[in-house]
């Protein structure tokens, strides 16, 4: 029955003839699907954004935000998850970008794909900034004020302020809302190009298959892979629902956290701050949204706006856009293009470092000496580390044993967090800093352990292993089948329970948590289905 139905759709929609890339077995790993994750966060955010559009009144930004949260049925669920959908999109976009950077995915013939991706990142950050401003709370207005300040201090640019923000000071957010939507539409448009280009070139083949540019499968090669329908579709759906589940669960659970310390507020608090003209606004430290904390900190380094813009925005951006033309080597292996990999690691490290720094000391000016103290060590570590690691080759001259880019990112993140927590602990030893330091130290040790054996002595793995999937023993499939049944039972129980949650008020956020859990189960169920049915 269902196969007849799917055949029907398959014929009507011509699914077999779609020019979509066919996927080899080894690519069904999340590494290769980061773009799909970004896209699903984007789609989620667009859907919830359209719902919010039904309620948001640009003439009364803060009031209508409060209205959505307090009076619209499940309004806070929609609003908070819209916010976190955007957060997820930003984080995933960074991960997606750095992963492809380290994998050399910007190289021939993917230069344009890469550049469009960078532009999309800029647009995403811009959209996020505008969306954040729409809340109209004290933080949002101060963020816009800072934005305005930056623009107006560049000679000749102040004419853009009314163009961009309209009559913002008078509480009219019409322009901000309009640009928020226009930017989103632009992202959508570029996404179409980005997506079809990616489908056209196909995903990056594993380095073990093709370690030189152009890293594409020929048409003859990829004709033999799994067709897009239904396996890719099934795998993609599992990713979509999993990410939607997290986007729903996290903010709605966080809504129940109260009285966070200031440092955690910008990262974990989905609720708006008090309105700018209220007495309470006087008592809050203003800080920008977390994704701009790094810029906020860089602004403390210099009083010259142009220098600030060059360091914080223009140079990194130009570098990212130009990198496909700067890195002309034909090798994809990270260790064969150490300079670029080094720059990449430093960019990621500095981004995280500066963000955390901005969070710890918002708006506090930093003398040059301290800046050097913070930014020099990672540079030295990376430079020494990269020169020390020699790519090992086997007798055929192929490079063996590699560290996955994700592991590198995790390592960089863990070590910078570790270093910062250490500095913070030395600077003011309190229970809080000790409490933060110990788990971070643990994580650092663990990631180092994971990376050390690979980095020190290249792993002995036969090349074919990674390419062909290992056969899955029957009992594992049986287990997966059982798990799907368990998930089904839980989903039904939760679905029944979800109807009893009040639509507004304190408990309404549980709806988001429960719905997110059901989405997780659906995603996990589909992923297990994929495992049982498609894995060999």
Residue 130 interacting with another protein (CB under 8 A): no
Which position among 310, 469, 494, 535 is part of the footprint of another protein (CB under 8 A)? 494
Residue 533 interacting with another protein (CB under 8 A): yes
Any idea what DSSP says for residue 353? H
Residue placing its CB nearer to another protein in the complex, 34 or 78: 78
At closest approach, how far in Å is the CB of 131 from another protein?
A: 18
Residue 218 interacting with another protein (CB under 8 A): no
76 cis-preceded (ω within 30 degrees of 0)? no
Residue 331 interacting with another protein (CB under 8 A): no
Q: Which residue has the tokens 């013939």?
A: 109
Alpha helices in 71-173 (DSSP H): 75-102, 111-133, 138-152, 160-165
Residue 83 interacting with another protein (CB under 8 A): no
Phi/psi at 23 (5° precision): -115, 130
Which position among 25, 71, 95, 398 is part of the footprint of another protein (CB under 8 A)? 71
Q: Which residues contact 348 (CB under 8 A, 6 or more apart)?
A: 94, 98, 409, 412, 413
Residues of span 221-260 touching another protein by CB under 8 A? 241
| C-beta of residue 472 within 8 angstroms of C-beta of residue 531 | yes
Residue 163 interacting with another protein (CB under 8 A): no
Residues of span 506-525 touching another protein by CB under 8 A? 511, 514-515, 518-519, 521-522, 525
| Part of the chain binding another protein (CB under 8 A), chosen from 93-101, 164-172, 323-331, 378-386 | 164-172
Residue 51 interacting with another protein (CB under 8 A): yes
Q: Which residues make beta-bridge pairs with 226?
A: 23
At closest approach, how far in Å is the CB of 264 from another protein?
A: 29
Residue 360 interacting with another protein (CB under 8 A): no
Distance of CA 234 to the CA centre of its chain: 22
Residue placing its CB nearer to another protein in the complex, 230 or 363: 230
Residue 169 interacting with another protein (CB under 8 A): yes
Secondary structure (DSSP) of 282-313: GGSPP---GGGHHHHHHTTT-S-HHHHHIIII
Residues of span 270-329 touching another protein by CB under 8 A? 275, 277-279
| C-beta of residue 191 within 8 angstroms of C-beta of residue 117 | no
Q: Among 77, 84, 31, 27, which residue's Cα sits nearest to residue 52?
A: 77
Q: Among 247, 120, 111, 173, which residue's Cα sits nearest to residue 519?
A: 247
The structure tokens listed for 28 are 């069904």
| Part of the chain binding another protein (CB under 8 A), chosen from 178-186, 392-400, 418-426, 481-489 | 481-489
Residue 114 interacting with another protein (CB under 8 A): no
Q: Which residue has the tokens 């960019």?
A: 347
Note the residues at the interface with another protein (CB under 8 A). Answer: 2-3, 51, 54, 57, 59-60, 63-64, 66-67, 71-75, 77-78, 169-172, 241, 275, 277-279, 481, 484-485, 487-488, 491-492, 494-495, 498-499, 501, 503, 511, 514-515, 518-519, 521-522, 525-526, 529, 532-533
């Amino acid at each position: 029955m269902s196969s007849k139905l799917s055949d029907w759709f398959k014929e009507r929609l011509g699914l077999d003839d779609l020019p979509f890339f066919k996927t080899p077995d080894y690519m069904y790993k999340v590494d290769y699907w980061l773009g799909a994750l970004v896209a699903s966060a984007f789609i989620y955010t667009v859907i919830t954004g359209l719902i919010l559009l039904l309620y948001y009144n640009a003439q009364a930004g803060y009031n209508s935000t409060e209205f959505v949260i307090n009076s619209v049925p499940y309004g806070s669920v929609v609003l908070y998850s819209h916010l976190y959908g955007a957060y997820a999109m930003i984080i995933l976009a960074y991960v997606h970008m750095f992963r492809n950077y380290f994998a050399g995915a910007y190289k021939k013939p993917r230069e344009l794909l890469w550049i469009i991706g960078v532009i999309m990142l800029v647009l995403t950050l811009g959209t996020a900034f505008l969306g954040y401003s729409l809340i109209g709370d004290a933080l949002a207005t101060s963020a816009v004020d800072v934005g305005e300040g930056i623009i107006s201090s560049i000679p000749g640019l102040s004419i853009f302020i009314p163009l961009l923000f309209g009559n913002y000071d008078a509480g009219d957010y019409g322009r901000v809302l309009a640009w928020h939507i226009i930017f989103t539409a632009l992202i959508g448009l570029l996404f179409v190009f980005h997506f079809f280009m990616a489908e056209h070139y196909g995903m990056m083949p594993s380095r073990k298959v093709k370690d030189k540019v152009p890293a594409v499968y020929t048409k003859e090669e990829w004709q033999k892979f799994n067709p897009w329908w239904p396996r890719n579709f099934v795998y993609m759906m599992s990713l979509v629902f999993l990410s939607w589940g997290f986007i729903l669960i996290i903010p709605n659970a966080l809504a129940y956290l109260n009285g966070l310390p200031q440092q955690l507020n910008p990262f974990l608090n989905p609720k708006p701050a008090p309105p700018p003209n209220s007495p309470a606004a006087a008592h809050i430290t203003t800080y920008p949204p977390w994704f701009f904390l790094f810029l906020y900190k860089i602004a403390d380094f210099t009083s010259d706006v142009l220098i600030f813009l060059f360091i914080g925005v223009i140079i990194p951006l130009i570098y990212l856009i130009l990198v496909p033309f700067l890195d002309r080597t034909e090798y994809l292996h990270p260790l064969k293009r150490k300079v670029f990999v080094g720059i990449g690691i430093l960019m990621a490290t500095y981004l995280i470092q500066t963000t955390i720094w901005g969070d710890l000391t918002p708006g506090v000016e930093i003398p040059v000496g301290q800046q050097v103290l913070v930014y020099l060590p990672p540079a030295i570590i990376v430079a020494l580390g990269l020169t020390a690691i020699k790519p090992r080759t086997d007798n055929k001259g192929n490079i063996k044993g590699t560290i996955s880019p994700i592991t590198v990112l995790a390592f960089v993140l863990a070590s910078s967090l570790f270093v910062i927590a250490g500095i913070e602990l030395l600077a003011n030893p309190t229970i809080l800093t000790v409490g933060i330091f110990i788990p971070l130290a643990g994580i650092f040790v663990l990631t180092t352990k994971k990376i050390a054996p690979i980095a020190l002595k290249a792993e002995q793995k036969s090349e074919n292993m990674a390419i062909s999937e290992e056969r899955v023993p029957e009992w594992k499939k049986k287990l997966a089948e059982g798990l799907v049944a368990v998930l089904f039972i839980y989903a039904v129980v939760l679905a029944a329970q979800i109807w009893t949650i009040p639509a507004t008020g304190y408990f309404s956020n549980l709806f988001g948590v429960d719905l997110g859990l059901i989405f997780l189960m659906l995603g996990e169920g589909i992923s297990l289905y994929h495992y049982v049915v498609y894995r060999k």
